[in-house]
């Protein structure tokens, strides 16, 4: 049976939150049975924002544990740490000659991060080239991304096309996979959920912290006996992520029908989060108690990734005259 190669990565720049879970993590874990899955922890990318080595090392371990606790199976997937595959940095340099500075200057993510006060390092500026190497090194055909990464994938496609036009058909042209209902998960203030905005809901947080986050979700001034508009409600948008189509329709009716207050719905959402992630907490604690076992899993994943990436790098080296 032929399986399409699916690839995506996540930055270990802090605790993972509901935005990470719904836009990427749950989708990747669920696709293990129906795809040739490649999933990595983007340690090099995280260096653009994480300045302390100890924080990055801990973030890598925590992200790996979160994935494994929720069902990432190293036997059914290729799961590794980006920096354990040095071939990606060599390919980054090779690909950097297939994109212009003016193209990189148009990257929305770069401009947004600089606007947030993040130092405009060369690493941050060339982030899309490293992302292209992450994807093209492994022949990824489909890349699940959020809306904020769509432009970066378009840059990857531009690089791929330019390289192939110049040197021959070396790389596979990847396609974006954007699920509209989870493409942009809102934070408690209505903006995109992000650690840097301080508006995230961390699914493995202790109940007290989770309750504080959920109860702080912004709402309007409508009272219990006022009809409410689910289309403009951040609370509805977050809650609906846990519901199927029938559940969303029912919640919409409750919003529009007088008699239910925002406080009651927030309590229900908190219970839903605790119930959904509860089964994974025990497994997570077990994995954290054996960090060396987790690192062994990641090393085995890196070996698989290097084996998969070697043919593409070899073809690129030969095509460019390096090999």
Q: Are residues 260 and 156 in the same domain?
A: no
Backbone region of residue 240 per phi and psi (left: phi > 0; alpha: psi in -120 to 50; beta: other values): alpha
Q: Are residues 151 and 298 in the same domain?
A: yes
Is residue 191 one of the residues assigned to a domain? no
Cα atoms found within 13 Å of the Cα of residue 157, Cβ hemisphere only: 13
Sequence-separated contacts (24+) of 279-284 with Cβ below 8 Å? 280/69, 280/70, 280/204, 281/69, 281/204, 283/68, 283/69, 284/65, 284/66, 284/69, 284/204
Encode burial over 154-184: b for 16+ CB neighbours within 10 A, e otherwise: ebbbbbbebbbeebeebbbebebbbeeebbb
Sign, Cα dihedral of 291, 295, 298, 304: negative
* Residue 182 confidence (pLDDT): 63
Residues 5/171, Cβ–Cβ less than 8 Å = no
> pLDDT by residue (tens digit) across 133-159?
999 999 999 998 777 778 889 999 999
* Residue 323 confidence (pLDDT): 85
pLDDT band at 124, cuts 50/70/90? confident
* Residue 42 confidence (pLDDT): 97
Q: Is the pLDDT of residue 1 over 60?
A: no
> pLDDT by residue (tens digit) across 211-261?
999 999 999 999 999 999 999 999 999 999 999 999 999 999 999 999 989
Q: Is the pLDDT of residue 112 over 90?
A: no
Neighbour tally for 29: CB within 10 Å: 20
pLDDT band at 118, cuts 50/70/90? confident
> pLDDT by residue (tens digit) across 78-107?
999 999 999 999 999 999 999 999 999 888
Distance CA 185, CA 162 (A): 33
Is residue 302 one of the residues assigned to a domain? yes
pLDDT band at 2, cuts 50/70/90? low
Lowest mean pLDDT among 108-122, 156-170, 272-286: 108-122
> pLDDT by residue (tens digit) across 14-40?
999 999 999 889 999 999 989 999 999
Q: Are residues 264 and 301 in the same domain?
A: no
Q: Is the pLDDT of residue 49 over 60?
A: yes
DSSP 150-206: HHHHHHHHHHHHHHHHHH-S-S---EEE--GGGSS-B-TTSSBP-GGGT----TTS-
How many structural domains are present in the chain?
A: 2
> pLDDT by residue (tens digit) across 60-83?
999 999 999 999 999 999 999 999
Read off the CATH number of the domain in which 241 is found: 1.10.240.10
Select the more confidently predicted residue: 121 or 318: 318
Select the more confidently predicted residue: 296 or 183: 296
> pLDDT by residue (tens digit) across 283-318?
999 999 999 999 999 999 999 999 999 999 999 999
DSSP 25-60: IHHHHHGGGTSEEEEEE-HHHHTTT---HHHHHHHH
Give the rounded distance of the alpha carbon of 187 from its chain centre: 15
Sequence-separated (6 or more) residues with CB below 8 Å from residue 297? 64, 68, 74, 79
Is residue 196 one of the residues assigned to a domain? no
Domain carrying residue 96: 5-184+291-320
Read off the CATH number of the domain in which 120 is found: 3.40.50.620
Sign, Cα dihedral of 64, 65, 66, 72: positive
Average pLDDT over residues 50-58: 96
Encode burial over 286-318: b for 16+ CB neighbours within 10 A, e otherwise: ebeeeeeebeebbeebbebbbebbeebbebbee
Is residue 194 one of the residues assigned to a domain? no
Sequence-separated (6 or more) residues with CB below 8 Å from residue 309? 85, 87, 88, 137, 138
Cα atoms found within 13 Å of the Cα of residue 42, Cβ hemisphere only: 22
H-run or E-run covering 78: strand 77-81
Is residue 316 one of the residues assigned to a domain? yes
Is residue 190 one of the residues assigned to a domain? no
Is residue 189 one of the residues assigned to a domain? no
């Amino acid at each position: 049976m032929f399986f399409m190669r699916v690839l995506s990565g996540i930055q270990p720049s802090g605790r993972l939150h509901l935005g990470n879970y719904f836009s990427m993590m749950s989708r990747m874990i669920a696709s293990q049975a129906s795809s040739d899955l490649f999933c990595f922890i983007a340690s090099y990318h995280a260096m653009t924002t994480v300045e302390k080595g100890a924080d990055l090392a801990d973030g890598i371990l925590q992200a790996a544990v979160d994935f494994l606790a929720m069902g990432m199976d190293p036997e059914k997937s290729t799961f590794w740490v980006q920096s354990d595959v040095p071939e990606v940095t060599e390919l980054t340099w090779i690909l950097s000659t297939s994109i212009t500075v003016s193209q990189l200057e148009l990257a929305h993510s770069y401009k947004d991060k600089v606007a947030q006060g993040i130092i405009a390092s060369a690493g941050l500026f060339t982030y899309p080239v490293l992302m292209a190497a992450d994807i093209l090194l492994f022949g990824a055909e489909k890349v699940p991304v959020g809306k904020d990464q769509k432009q970066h994938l378009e840059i990857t496609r531009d690089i791929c096309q330019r390289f192939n036009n110049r040197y021959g058909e070396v790389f596979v042209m990847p396609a974006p996979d954007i699920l509209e209902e989870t493409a942009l998960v809102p934070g408690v203030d209505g903006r995109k959920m992000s650690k840097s905005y301080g508006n995230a809901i961390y699914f493995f947080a202790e109940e007290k912290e989770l309750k504080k986050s959920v109860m702080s979700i912004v709402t309007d001034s409508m009272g219990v006996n006022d009809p409410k508009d689910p289309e403009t409600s951040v609370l509805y948008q977050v809650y609906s992520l846990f519901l199927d189509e029938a559940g969303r329709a029912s919640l919409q009716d409750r919003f529009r029908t007088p008699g239910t207050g925002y406080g009651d719905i927030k309590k229900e959402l908190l219970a839903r989060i605790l119930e959904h992630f509860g089964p994974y907490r025990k497994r997570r604690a077990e994995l954290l108690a054996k960090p060396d076992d987790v690192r062994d899993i990641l090393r085995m994943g890196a070996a698989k990734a290097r084996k998969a990436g070697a043919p593409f790098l070899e073809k690129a080296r030969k095509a460019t005259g390096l090999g």
